[in-house]
A = this chain, B = another copy of it.
Amino acid sequence: MTQREDWLDELAWGEDGLLPAIVQDQASGEVLMVAWMNAEALRETIRLGEAVFWSRSRRRLWHKGESSGHVQKVREVRTDCDRDVILLKVEQVGGIACHTGRASCFFRRLDGGQWQVTAPVLKDPAEIYGKE
């Protein structure tokens, strides 16, 4: 570990080596999604200028948009007072962050004791990810 990676060591990585990362649209302020990062994912995010996460289900680095083309160009990286959450401000290419084809993953709002879907599917996921 070189001195130039002190900024990575300064984060309070969890016991599993991960931290949650919030992704926010820089222009609109809309919260788009939450995913997880390990140190390598954050290092790659900085190197590429595009969001790279750690996929807990696939157990590998996940360059967001690698299948869909919906990459996230990273304009700002922040952390919080406890240094245990990462906040990315991004430009969302294609305007779609969610695998359901919606702009944001936070499309369910609690209303009258029920989760109501509040945002439209902009593009059919079958079309985004291919139909094979």
Give A residues with C-beta under 8 Å from B: 4, 6-7, 10, 20, 22, 24, 28-31, 33-34, 46, 76-83, 85, 87, 98-100, 102, 105-110, 113-115
Residue from the list B7, B29, B34 in contact with A115, Cβ < 8 A: B7
* Chain B residues whose C-beta falls within 8 Å of the C-beta of A4 in the assembled complex: 113
- A109 x B28 contact (CB < 8 A): no
- Other contacts beyond A7-B114, A78-B110: 14, CB < 8 A: A7-B110, A7-B113, A24-B31, A28-B29, A29-B30, A78-B106, A78-B109, A79-B115, A80-B98, A80-B107, A81-B99, A81-B100, A81-B102, A81-B105
Residue from the list B31, B33, B79, B99 in contact with A108, Cβ < 8 A: B79
Residue from the list B31, B109, B113 in contact with A31, Cβ < 8 A: B31
Distance (Å) between the CB of A32 and the closest chain B CB? 10
What are some 15 contacts across the A-B interface (CB < 8 A)? A6-B113, A7-B115, A22-B34, A28-B29, A29-B29, A34-B80, A77-B110, A78-B106, A78-B108, A78-B109, A80-B105, A81-B108, A82-B105, A85-B105, A87-B106
